[in-house]
Structure 1
Amino acid sequence: MQLTQIKKSLPDFITKKFDAIIEDRINILADRKPIIFGMTPKSGDVVMQTNDYLDLHNNDAIKNAHIQAIRDNDQSLLMSGALLRGAENQPVFEEKLAKLTGFDRCVVAQSGWNANIDLLQGICDKDTNVYVDFFAHASLWEGARIAGAKVHMFMHNNMRHLERQLKRHGSGIILVDSIYSTIGTIAPLVDVVSLAYKYDCALVVDESHSLGTHGPNGAGLVAELGLTEHVDFITASLAKTFAYRAGAILANEQTAYLVPLLAYPSIFSSAMLPYEMDRLNATFDVIVGAHEGRRALKQNADYLNRGLRSIGFDIDSESQIFGIDTGDVHNTLKIRNFLEENGVFGSVFCPPATPHGKHLIRFSINSGHTKEELNRVIDVCQKAWDNPELRSLRCHCLIAKKERSNKRSFQLKLSKSKWRLYR
């Protein structure tokens, strides 16, 4: 076969798929852009799109430590992380994070996503029952799917439904988030632990949105509730409070030793580099001492919660994360544009991060937000609530409230999209 200079076209089945996505998700919108692409914030706008909860992205001590580590490091460790394991090679950061959280060992992964995939691929197989909260992070669902486990959904924070599933299917692994990333609710961890004991289950708690922000010195919600001895595994993204790209698995010695040898992301990805671990170590030291930052974060979250509730928004949040139901994609576009035109920037969540036909705008609060900024958010949200052209905002909040009052039918209806992937 003779090759020509004409660039090869993609196969027809791929272009048809892409064309359908463009038509269904982009061309139907007035501005013909993906719904997640909004305006660019200007100076003075209130940005609530980042999960940098303690406002560490521009911390001088962390940046200087990172720069110095890059200058000083002369090691070439561009290899699989599985080749670098062993007690004698454990980085200082892993030792310190394990000690803070009360676990034997810590294994750092390339991301929070990889941490969950690594762990679940290591501890599950086709004979394992896995019980997943409806709103658990997609990486937990995907980790169980990749492992070939038998996945059983239970309705969000509904312990009666979880127990019915446990009675029906038997011992297994329970997967929950400590704080749920879309709506900010907190898992009833004491009750989950009780059921794990009763039905001889292992328990995995994803602390991505509570590590650093909750508990003594930022040790997390499990530690805050005194449950460390009763939780088998903790995972976390370090791209939230730690303001970098990494993930962590907290476990016993045997798990920490074996998981990197069993899990594909660990085996087939390059390890975190030494200067990256040094940055995380510097960030750890800042977080442990950030008592005032944690107090400010809680005060800011409580203040915005009260403000949004006073307007009429149906807020389930118990944390620094607020999810506002906005209905379908067209209503979401109108509401997002109104907020951004008035200097308030949240993150649009749409499928696959939400069930089909459901959208929300998430506000993520950090310790650096000022009272003036929060008052501006409340004022703009009040204007949106009162705007006759955005009447759908009020309607969808009322609909969401009614749906959540009947959680069984609501979540079983929405779960169909997940079952297509994970059954």
Structure 2
Amino acid sequence: MTNNINKYPNYLAKKVNAHVHRCAQLGGYEHNPLYGLTPTKTSVKVISNDYLDLANHPAIVDIQRKALGNLDDLELISSIFMHGDNPQLNFEHRMAKFMNSEEAVLCQSGYNANIGLIQAIVENTDAPIYIDMMAHMSLWDGTKFSKAPVCPFRHNNIDHLMSLIDRHGSGLVIVDSVYSTNGSVCPLTALVEAAYDKGCILLVDESHSLGTHGPQGRGMVVEYGLLEKVMFRTASLAKAFAGRAGIIACPKGFSDYFKCTGNPAIFSSALLPYEIAGLDKTLDLIIVADDRRKQLHSNADYLREGLSSLGYNTSDSQSQIIALESGMEWQTKILKDSLESRDVFGSVFAAPATPKKRSLVRLSVNSGLTEGQLGYIIKVFEDIRGEVGIDKWRSTQKLSQNSQQSTVA
């Protein structure tokens, strides 16, 4: 790969050169841990967030094809101009009912939902923001609209959150229900109760729990009976809903306010009719997908327990996301290459998605994985333990230390 750094102004050349240097330390662009082999139809893939294995469902594909064949009245406009009987507003009403919310707003992506919502809440206010250190980057980017203090709290640490609220006052508390990097789960009931009692409003990102958790897939906030205390929920619909969109669940009257004030709503065109048709059919399938949800969680438990028995540290994961923290980027590249050479594909997470010395391979489990495929993944991880140097991983050493402390206690 050729870089024309000399063509850039100094400030940009410095940034590009830092990336080139980072790749050079790993042996060149071809050794970037993000690059690798391309999976085939026979590969065992744990890279997709299509948790309920719905993306290629024939009912969804069929209705999208039909919608694509009926684009006579196609309008590329912002959703602010949409009124009356149209696919987007109808789907928003359905999603509000599904999420047990007064209103819902459809956005172009989960990223746009989060940055737009936080902007609409805090811009030009002095309300402090409290955000879990492991919250999704879209949530962090939304906090940049605030002129008030942004106070990160230690991951899932309610005591730390309470101490910050006592110091800075009530404001907006932001968490994920399931954290996308390592699959950990927010102690949602205790955290919501504590923050609500302090006079805070809450925003819960349910991207990795909407469709997969709760009655009929309605999410964890519904499952734990927290609707009265969680004012806002967001979700990417590129996970269990297998589409390209985002959703905001909000109080009555807020959707119109958001569409008139949120930058992503004002300055981007709305979704196209065929996209909404696909999401609408997906919702039908998710509501009746209890068997798929049960299989998803069974598959995740099986894989997690199998990897744990081999000495891999899976202690952070409590969901369908299983992260194997190999550490330095060169260590993660060895892990990725070892897996891909045996036709198993996971997702590499490196800086800025993780701290520089805590890169990892993330396994995203789905309900369509067979017992044979899960067994093969576990066998591969057994075979590569020495090859990847699992005993040298910081996460393995941490697991050993925790085990020793537990034994002493």
Same fold per superposition (TM over 0.5): yes
Cα displacement (A) at 1:206: 0.3
SS of the aligned residue for 1:91 comes to: helix
The one-character-per-residue Cα deviations of 1:334-372 (angstroms, maximum 9, x if unpaired) are 111111111211100001101232201000000000111
Q: How many residues are treated as equivalent by the alignment?
A: 395
Taking structure 1 as the reference length, the TM-score comes to 0.89
Aligned to 1:272: 271
Residue number among 122, 127, 151 corresponding to 2:120 in the alignment: 122
Distance of 1:297 and 1:118 partners within structure 2: 31
Aligned to 2:130: 131
Conservation of the 8 A alpha-carbon contact between 1:128 and 1:173: yes
Conservation of the 8 A alpha-carbon contact between 2:33 and 2:330: no
Q: In 2 relative to 1, CA 59–88 (structure 1 residues): closer, same or farther, beyond 3 Å?
A: closer
Taking structure 2 as the reference length, the TM-score comes to 0.92
Distance of 2:308 and 2:15 partners within structure 1: 42
Distance of 2:280 and 2:401 partners within structure 1: 44
Conservation of the 8 A alpha-carbon contact between 2:162 and 2:195: no
Aligned to 1:416: none
Distance of 1:329 and 1:393 partners within structure 2: 16
SS of the aligned residue for 2:326 comes to: strand
Distance of 1:12 and 1:216 partners within structure 2: 55
Residue number among 79, 82, 85 corresponding to 2:80 in the alignment: 82
The one-character-per-residue Cα deviations of 1:131-180 (angstroms, maximum 9, x if unpaired) are 10111101111101134342101111111111111111110011000000
Conservation of the 8 A alpha-carbon contact between 1:77 and 1:271: no
Q: In 2 relative to 1, CA 85–176 (structure 1 residues): closer, same or farther, beyond 3 Å?
A: farther
Aligned to 1:375: 375
Distance of 2:72 and 2:119 partners within structure 1: 33
Task: Using the TM superposition, name which of 143-152 and 341-350 deviates more.
Answer: 143-152
Distance of 1:93 and 1:228 partners within structure 2: 21
Aligned to 2:200: 201
- 1:60 matches 2:58: yes
The one-character-per-residue Cα deviations of 1:33-67 (angstroms, maximum 9, x if unpaired) are 33211111134221111100011111100010011
Aligned to 1:171: 170
Aligned to 2:344: 344
Conservation of the 8 A alpha-carbon contact between 1:325 and 1:400: no
Distance of 1:171 and 1:86 partners within structure 2: 38
SS of the aligned residue for 2:307 comes to: helix
Conservation of the 8 A alpha-carbon contact between 1:91 and 1:277: no
% same residue: 42
Distance of 2:133 and 2:236 partners within structure 1: 19
Question: 1:268-417 alignment to 2 at 5 Å?
Answer: 268-315=267-314, 316-385=316-385, 387=386, 389-392=387-390, 394-401=392-399
Distance of 1:181 and 1:403 partners within structure 2: 25
Distance of 2:114 and 2:255 partners within structure 1: 13
SS of the aligned residue for 1:30 comes to: coil
Query: Is there any run of 5+ residues in structure 1 with no aligned partner, and where?
Result: 1-7, 406-423
The one-character-per-residue Cα deviations of 1:284-318 (angstroms, maximum 9, x if unpaired) are 11111111111110110110111111111221211
Task: Using the TM superposition, name which of 31-40 and 114-123 deviates more.
Answer: 31-40
Question: 1:80-159 alignment to 2 at 5 Å?
Answer: 80-84=78-82, 91-125=89-123, 126-159=125-158
Conservation of the 8 A alpha-carbon contact between 1:297 and 1:367: yes
Cα displacement (A) at 1:194: 1.0
Distance of 2:158 and 2:150 partners within structure 1: 17
Conservation of the 8 A alpha-carbon contact between 1:101 and 1:228: no
Task: Using the TM superposition, name which of 15-24 and 391-400 deviates more.
Answer: 391-400
